[in-house]
Amino acid sequence: MAGTYSELFCQSNFSFLTGASHPEELVGRAAELGYSALALCDECSVAGVVRAHSHIKAQQLPIKLIVGSYLCYEELELVVLCPTKSAYSQLCRVITNARRRCEKGRYQLSEWDLKTLKGCILIWLVHGRSEAAKTADKEWGPWLQRHYGEQLYLGVRRELNGFEPEQLAYIRTLSEQWQISEVALGAVLMHTPERLPLQHVLSAIKQGQTVSSLGQSLLANAERALRPLDKLAKLFSPAQLATSEQIAQSCAFNLDELSYQYPYELVPQGLSASEHLKSLVEQGARKRFKGVAPPAIQATIDKELALIAEQGYEPFFLTIHDIVQFAKRHDILYQGRGSAANSVVCYCLEITAVDPRQIDVLFERFISKERNEPPDIDVDFEHQRREEVFQYIYQKYGRQRAALAATVITYRLKSAMRDVGKALGFSDTQLDYYIKQLNRRHGGGQWQAQLIQLGLDPEATINQHFFRLVDEIKGFPRHLSQHVGGFVISEGPLHELVPVENAAMLERTVIQWDKDDLESLKLLKVDVLALGMLSAIQRSFKLLEKHYQHSISIADITRLGDDPQVYAMLQKADTVGVFQIESRAQMSMLPRLKPRCYYDLVIQIAIVRPGPIQGDMVHPYLRRRDGDEAVEYPSKQVEQVLKRTLGVPIFQEQVIKVAMVAAGFSGGEADQLRRAMAKWKRDGELTQFKQKLIDGMLQRGYDYQFAERIYQQICGFGEYGFPESHSASFAVLAYVSAYLKYYYPEVFFCALANSLPMGFYSLDQLVQDARRHNINILAVDVNHSLWEHQVIRQGEHVAVRLGFCCIKGFSAASADKLIAQRPTSGYRSISELYHHGLQEGELETLASSNALAAIAKDRFNSRWQIMDKQQRLPLFADDESIMEEESVLAAPSGIQDTLEDYASMGVNMGAHPLTYLRQQGLFSNAKKASELSQCRNGASVTIAGLVTGRQSPGSAAGVTFLTLEDDTGNINVVVWLATAKAQQKAFLTARLLEVKGVVEHHKGVVHVIAGRLIDHSDKLPALILKSRFFH
Amino acid sequence: MYLAVYCAHLQLQRRQLQEPAVLVAKEHVVQVNAAAQRLGVRLGMGLASAAALCATLQVYPYEPELERQLLQELAAHCYQVCGDIILAGSDCLIVVATSMRALYPSTEQLFGALAPVIRAFVPHFYYASGESMEVAELLAREQRNFISDEASVCRQHLARVEVTDLLLAVEHKQQLARLGIERVEQLLALPMNQLRQRFHYEVVDYLTRLQGQLPHAGLAKKSGYYRFYQPTQSFSESRELNFEIDNCERLLRPLTQLCECLCRYLRQHQLHTQRLVFSLFFREQVALELCLDSVEPQGQLAPWQALLEIKLAALVLPAPVIAIRLQCEEFVSADGHSENLFAKRQQGLAKQQLLSLLNARLGPQHCYRLQPGRAHIPEFTQVQEATLHPYQDGLPASPQALLRPNFMIEPVPLQEQLCLLRGPERIQSHWWQQAQLERDYYIGENSRGQLCWVFRDKHKGWFIQGYFA
């Protein structure tokens, strides 16, 4: 066939559980086959078009993308194509209307919607397989022709099925009857015929049945794949083919035309956005720099403003400025982060509180022009108040103009195994078992190999299909979900730009594109995120103001400069509750890295991540830092990139830059690399860059090992990317929280406890740590506590009183009632509490938490009293004597007190359980956590404690880190793979563990390398202490 | 006095597995065998943890209904030696020992008679006696394994039971724990009127029952938890043979006599049945079961006898038979199956009888009928189905029928010239069963004017598979 062909009806896997190819695969294959255009028409969706568009651009494919959608209304099936931008807006509006009428995942068109698709080209799909369908067609035919005239076509599909001859004849009749031109359509669902089994599996998943039971409901053949031109020439008439080509030529709309406008209402009349931004920055600079900005700073500001103006990003900065001003007005603490957030402009606009003079950041801290990235600013808000910011945005811009970006939820290994397995007829129990087995710590190897080990016969045909199909379906989109906080806000209605649909969460709407799509089209989104630590810091500031009359802010603390005493505390790894550096892995790194200044913290936060660990960059960095290894650079260019991290790449930006300077990646390629990193785990896209990276580096004279390590690090970043710009902002919060912990431990503890749940530690663990720091923790008391925990300061004496909030089953409303009616002298008896209308159940929880200790007997007898139904009869209401009956029950023992504390509050107010066990003569030989630092390196020891953490980081090659808590502190236990495997029973299930092992000291870090593990969980049978697992 | 027998892990035990195995419900282990226990697998453990402890763990779903059924069967066995059996939950039997005093003067003797019966059914079980059925059940579940007619001994055992093990709702047990009450003796030491003022009726009722203070032993009001065993409607008749029989022909007579007994029973009860199970017992070998299945429920001797003859003709006895038994447990009412005079019915019955005969002669594994399916490939549009399944007429509903020939044949290579009239209809399917089938079907006319259904396979070979006329 000499001519060419345009496929006008193609559904990708964004027609969920129907299309069996990615949009990229479809355009890629169509270009290979020599198609001149391809219309991506997912069902009531344009979610896949940006991917196809970006792929065409990135690969410079000689094919045109037509944006369209497949819509069903009653019996009517239509393919709608967008020849122009206005037609595209119409389609987006119609999709939005149809989607917004229904719950997530469904749509409902109306006749009116169809009438408004004036600018679109419509291809009518008919089959005429039943009389009912033919009758409906008779009605729709004239209607469609009346409304669309020349823009209406009849689609001719050649699927080589058993109905075809009649269907073709029927179409011919309709075409002649109403003078509608026929056009060739592939109705494509797959980019190659080899996807047929996957398409069958998707159909089975959709219908909730097995493939073998679906019979003729499955596609009969693979004709709905992209077909070669010569085959098409045999199937369709020249006229039908020519029409498709002619329609494609009339479609001139390109997604690049979408120029999106940020809201201009933030710019006062008479000013340009640029002028307004400049004046705000000037105002801010005067405030920030107490008058006039120093000349060097002013020069940076001018440079940054020029760059912003050049890219037209002013409204973006103005929008974020507006949002943070709202937060400021409402006293919501926030902090900006990201590459652009660390600019002086953002400091002046009060988006960040990091004084650029104090933090002498050496890195390029602004929009990267050569990488063609949009400015990256995420703003974190106090997690307990983020919703207020959301509501402000909705209120200010309206739901028409503001929506959340989507997150595409894709098939991952386990979901893929489950769905494919069911479709192939595997039993639920069998699948459950396989999936659970994959959870195993020492899995290792490929998942297929693991299943074979579990007894799946690799020779059986069905199992081979299972292996292949699971791999194929991985990365397939399953549904759209909402992004954590990425807002798209526009000048005009958003639905003219992209369809908006309902999210699962009530009152939330999402657009049909995710953040990568937005980035590809250079549309800006504002990330409004929630951060628990900001709540804790804000609470700390308020408490400082109240109890110490210090008015202080994040900016004030950073302005004070690096405080050696705060850093001394960090170097000792005394960081429970400190932002980002409180995890076990971070704690073991602190004494080795010994941070001395802000930038050290930036590195500290970024280094304990899968990227640097997998790239084997941690030890070289530490050796160089300690002067044990010379700092060398393979080349001048690499030196520029890696100088501030002593020649060792630590940050995500650095490896990307190394790829550019050392492997010769262009800006565009680097950008693709960055995106592939983000999707690595999902799609495995990174492998395509490996050869290019390594070849490029070898060609430029770098050694193979260095290249391989850089690649491994890139893979590591893929699992958890961590750019320097974010680390820099987090380091500020880490420092501020450490500063508060050091100087105002009671205040910090109280604020942290009131901001739970957040961070790594439970209230109990925070309390244990506070006690080790000699903080006086006062128990919940019916006569003194408030709902939240509070700082009590009397002269020099400072303490923290726990609040009612930690009592399980005691409501805030009851606490309010109890506090509001509390006599100044306090309650005197339980009956008094009765009279204030507290429910029996809630009183019982108060009794069990020992909050009634001051006015009643022990907790068992108080609860016993409260349970007496007779006491609540009106007859006895005023008779207090009845309440004061004899103790019937034995008072709790020490261990019972502890158990009750855990059961009622999750916090132990008494002695540590280990203390009781020691009193019973157990673990008399065991060293305490506090004694370990005195043991010599290599000494054999026995230790015992509650298992409070089991971490088995993927980067640690099967090593598991156990945290044992005893009465004096936490002990770090390293369990090697072989040890764990040999003693699985104790290793996996013990809650109270005795470990015989060897002490290891290394640069201030003390570990015990486990030898024998002995499970003593039965010694504390009822102890309710949830071990926290991290995988 | 009551005697309770607790058959822990009943469903799993009946599987008689040597390898580590568990039963799971909602991804948690609910039954575990000894081999798995040795590896550290415990009840309540998540499936993931259990699997991590033992890579070769065998996992089966827990089926509560099946377990109740098993308990019912066990009770039927026990019913041979004692009456008055109460089923508790799905894994515990309680026998009212006092009502069996005439036969067994002591509970010990009752247990002596019962134990071998139970052991034959399930290898491991726990037992205890108690003043009330709740006490007996509790102590059996506590695995106390003691029998005594002394109330004081039972009370001593009871006093040591932990409150967490009581058969009470979790919230009630938590309530007790929150008062520091850990053992039953602490609980029973509290004045009953004080408890009544504080606890739910269920708790007080249960405690009263534990103390044996309720005047009559009615079943507690837990929906369906306790139920009296009622013998199921079943027929079982055995014969000890006076001499060993090693010849099938001679076996026919005594077996037919058993059949006569059954038919009498069926007539008396106005029942029919579809399945008879004969057991042939040998001196040493395991008993041999012969199942006779009829496609249609029968109550007459003749058809069963015919089937029995055919079955025996194919049988080779492994050893001389010393005893025989006939069991029949599945019945249907005879009302719906009375013979009538309509010829069609008679014909239908003849067909059914033929099927029964074929089944008996060839074995059900060799006897199929074809059912229409809805696959694209003609070979798979006929589904093999055991003849004993209820027959469904007609095709499952299809959106639209494809054009298919009336006369379908096994594909044979096409030997003649055809003029193709319609096609191709391309079918690529059934990749999940074997290598994917790929065929292009056409309708063609041969020189004799026949309309043939032909296809070309992926090796370009032509085959004929049917005729339209």
Residues of chain A contacting B425 with CB distance shorter than 8 Å: 160-162, 164, 220
pLDDT number for residue B217: 52
CB contact under 8 A, A221 and B48: no
Interface of A with B in 816-875 (CB under 8 A): 844, 848, 860, 863-864, 867-870
A889 and A942 belong to one structural domain: no
| pLDDT confidence band for A875 (50 / 70 / 90) | low
| pLDDT confidence band for A692 (50 / 70 / 90) | confident
Query: What ipTM does this complex have?
Result: 0.74
pLDDT number for residue A1029: 30
Facing residue for B180 by CB, picked from A129, A860, A868: A860
A464 contacts chain B (CB < 8 A): no
pLDDT number for residue A683: 54
A453 contacts chain B (CB < 8 A): yes
Candidates A115, A43, A37; CA nearest to A79 is: A43
CATH number of the domain at A1009, please.
2.40.50.140
pLDDT number for residue A129: 87
B121 contacts chain A (CB < 8 A): no
Over residues A124-148, the pLDDT tens digits come to 999 888 889 999 999 999 999 999 9
- Comparing A14-18, B253-257, B351-355, the range with the smallest average pLDDT is B351-355
pLDDT at A882 over 60: no
Facing residue for B48 by CB, picked from A196, A218, A439: A439
A882 contacts chain B (CB < 8 A): no
Q: How many domains does chain A have?
A: 4
pLDDT at B298 over 80: yes
Q: What phi-psi label fits residue A178: left (phi over 0), alpha (psi between -120 and 50 degrees) or beta?
A: alpha
> CA-CA distance, B153 to A374, in Å (whole number)?
82
DSSP annotation of A20 reads -
> CA-CA distance, B158 to B146, in Å (whole number)?
12
Residues of chain A contacting B60 with CB distance shorter than 8 Å: 429
A120 and A16 belong to one structural domain: yes
Distance from CA of B466 to the nearest CA of A (A): 15
Over residues A479-534, the pLDDT tens digits come to 999 888 899 988 888 888 999 998 888 778 899 999 888 888 878 788 999 999 99
> CA-CA distance, B294 to B274, in Å (whole number)?
5
Mean pLDDT of chain B: 83
> CA-CA distance, A554 to A961, in Å (whole number)?
34
Residues of chain B contacting A441 with CB distance shorter than 8 Å: 52
Interface test with B, best of A127, A190, A867, A904 (most B CBs within 10 A): A867
A575 contacts chain B (CB < 8 A): no
Q: Is residue A299 part of a domain?
A: no
Residues of chain B contacting A130 with CB distance shorter than 8 Å: 400
pLDDT at B456 over 90: yes
From A849, which residue of chain B is nearest by alpha-carbon distance?
Answer: B178
pLDDT number for residue A1021: 55
CATH number of the domain at A152, please.
3.20.20.140
B403 contacts chain A (CB < 8 A): yes
pLDDT number for residue A839: 82
Hey, which of A365-379, A777-791, A882-896, B355-369 has the most confident mean pLDDT? Answer: A777-791
> CA-CA distance, B139 to B156, in Å (whole number)?
11
pLDDT at A420 over 90: yes
End-to-end CA distance of chain B: 82
pLDDT number for residue B184: 92
Residues of chain B contacting A211 with CB distance shorter than 8 Å: 432
The distance between the two most distant Cα atoms of chain A, rounded to a whole number of Å, is 105
- Out of A214, A239, A257, a domain closes at A257
User: How many CA within 13 A on the CB side of residue B156?
Assistant: 9
A27 and A167 belong to one structural domain: yes
Over residues B41-74, the pLDDT tens digits come to 888 888 888 888 887 888 888 888 878 878 987 8
Over residues A80-112, the pLDDT tens digits come to 999 999 999 999 999 999 999 998 889 999 999
Exposed/middle/buried for B345, CB within 10 Å: 0-12, 13-18, 19+?
exposed
The dihedral built from the CA positions of residue A654, A660, A663 and A669, taken in this order, carries a sign that is: positive
Interface of A with B in 374-403 (CB under 8 A): none
Over residues A528-547, the pLDDT tens digits come to 999 999 999 999 999 999 99
pLDDT at B232 over 80: no
pLDDT at A690 over 70: yes
End-to-end CA distance of chain A: 57
pLDDT number for residue B125: 94
Q: Which two tokens stand for residue A474?
A: 């991985």
pLDDT at B413 over 90: yes
> CA-CA distance, A666 to B240, in Å (whole number)?
94
Pairwise pLDDT comparison (A1017 vs A243), residue with the higher score: A243
Domain of residue A69, residue span: 5-191+226-257
B443 contacts chain A (CB < 8 A): no
Q: Is residue A379 part of a domain?
A: no
Mean pLDDT of chain A: 86
Q: Is residue A433 part of a domain?
A: no
Question: How many residues are present in chain B?
Answer: 469
pLDDT number for residue A328: 92
Interface of B with A in 306-325 (CB under 8 A): none
From A211, which residue of chain B is nearest by alpha-carbon distance?
Answer: B432
pLDDT number for residue A371: 54
pLDDT number for residue A444: 44
β pairing state of A402-410 and A509-514: parallel
Q: Which helix (H) or strand (E) holds A308?
A: helix A295-311
pLDDT number for residue B406: 83
Hey, which of A784-798, A958-972, B333-347, B367-381 has the most confident mean pLDDT? Answer: A784-798
pLDDT at A2 over 60: no
Interface of B with A in 183-212 (CB under 8 A): 186, 190, 194, 197-199
Distance from CA of A440 to the nearest CA of B (A): 6
Interface test with A, best of B24, B384, B428 (most A CBs within 10 A): B428
Distance from CA of A864 to the nearest CA of B (A): 7
Over residues A669-678, the pLDDT tens digits come to 777 777 777 6
CB contact under 8 A, A433 and B47: yes
**Once rounded to an integer, what is the mean pLDDT over residues B25-49?**
87
A218 contacts chain B (CB < 8 A): yes
> CA-CA distance, B85 to A71, in Å (whole number)?
66
**Once rounded to an integer, what is the mean pLDDT over residues A899-918?**
87
pLDDT at A910 over 90: no
- Out of A843, A874, A905, a domain closes at A905
Residues of chain A contacting B63 with CB distance shorter than 8 Å: none
Rg (CA), chain B: 32
- Comparing A1024-1028, B16-20, B231-235, the range with the smallest average pLDDT is A1024-1028
**Once rounded to an integer, what is the mean pLDDT over residues A737-763?**
92
Over residues A799-847, the pLDDT tens digits come to 999 999 999 999 999 999 999 999 999 998 888 887 777 888 889 999 9
Over residues B251-268, the pLDDT tens digits come to 898 899 889 888 887 887
Facing residue for A215 by CB, picked from B49, B60, B373: B373
Exposed/middle/buried for A605, CB within 10 Å: 0-12, 13-18, 19+?
buried
From B36, which residue of chain A is nearest by alpha-carbon distance?
Answer: A985
Residues of chain A contacting B433 with CB distance shorter than 8 Å: 212, 461
Phi, psi of B314 (to 5 degrees): -90, 0
pLDDT number for residue B396: 47
> CA-CA distance, A783 to A851, in Å (whole number)?
8
pLDDT at A432 over 60: yes
From A844, which residue of chain B is nearest by alpha-carbon distance?
Answer: B178
For the stretch B53-56, contacts whose Cβ atoms lie closer than 8 Å and that sit 24 or more positions apart, written own/partner, are B53/A984, B53/A985, B53/A988, B53/A989, B54/B20, B55/A437, B55/A453, B55/A454, B56/B19, B56/B20
* Placement of tokens 């098409």 in the chain: A232
A862 and A959 belong to one structural domain: no
A970 and A931 belong to one structural domain: yes
Distance from CA of B327 to the nearest CA of A (A): 34
* DSSP collapsed to 3 states, chain B: CEEEEECCCHHHHHHCCCCCEEEEECCEEEEECHHHHHCCCCCCCEHHHHHHHCCCCEEEECCHHHHHHHHHHHHHHHCCCCCCEEEECCCEEEEECHHHCCCCCCHHHHHHHHHHHHHHHCCCCEEEEECCHHHHHHHHHCCCCECCCCHHHHHHHHHCCEHHHCCCCHHHHHHHHCCCCCEHHHHHHCCHHHHHHHCCHHHHHHHHHHCCCCCCCCCCCCCCCEEECCCCCCEEEEEEEEEEECCHHHHHHHHHHHHHHHHHHHHHHCEEEEEEEEEEEECCCCCEEEEEEEEEEECCHHHHHHHHHHHHHCCCCCCCEEEEEEEECCEEECHHHCCCCCHHHHHHHHHHHHHHHHHHHHCHHHCEEEEECCCCCHHHHEEEEECCCCCCCCCCCCCCCCCCCCEEEEEEECCCCCEEEEEEEEEEECCCCCCCEEEEEEEEECCCCCEEEEEEECCCCEEEEEECC
- Tell me the CA distances in angstroms from B81 to A570, B77, B111, one per residue in order: 77, 8, 10
> CA-CA distance, A621 to A627, in Å (whole number)?
10
Over residues A1011-1027, the pLDDT tens digits come to 999 988 877 755 444 33
Residue-wise DSSP of A581-636: S-SHHHHHHHHHH---SHHHHHHHHHHSSHHHHHTT-HHHHHHHHTTSS----SSH
From B422, which residue of chain A is nearest by alpha-carbon distance?
Answer: A165
Residue A428 and residue A404 in contact, taking contact as beta carbons nearer than 8 Å? no
CB contact under 8 A, A439 and B52: yes
pLDDT at A428 over 60: yes
Q: Is residue A336 part of a domain?
A: no
pLDDT number for residue A903: 86
Q: Is the CATH number 3.30.1490.100 carried by domain B235-361?
A: yes
A49 and A159 belong to one structural domain: yes
Residues of chain B contacting A870 with CB distance shorter than 8 Å: 197
A804 and A940 belong to one structural domain: no
| pLDDT confidence band for A719 (50 / 70 / 90) | low
CB contact under 8 A, B376 and A130: no
pLDDT number for residue A366: 52
| All CATH 3.30.1490.100 domain ranges in chain B, comma separated | 235-361
CB contact under 8 A, B179 and A889: yes
Pairwise pLDDT comparison (B325 vs A236), residue with the higher score: A236
pLDDT at A14 over 80: yes
pLDDT number for residue A1024: 42
A87 and A176 belong to one structural domain: yes
Residue A588 and residue A1002 in contact, taking contact as beta carbons nearer than 8 Å? no
Pairwise pLDDT comparison (A213 vs A188), residue with the higher score: A188
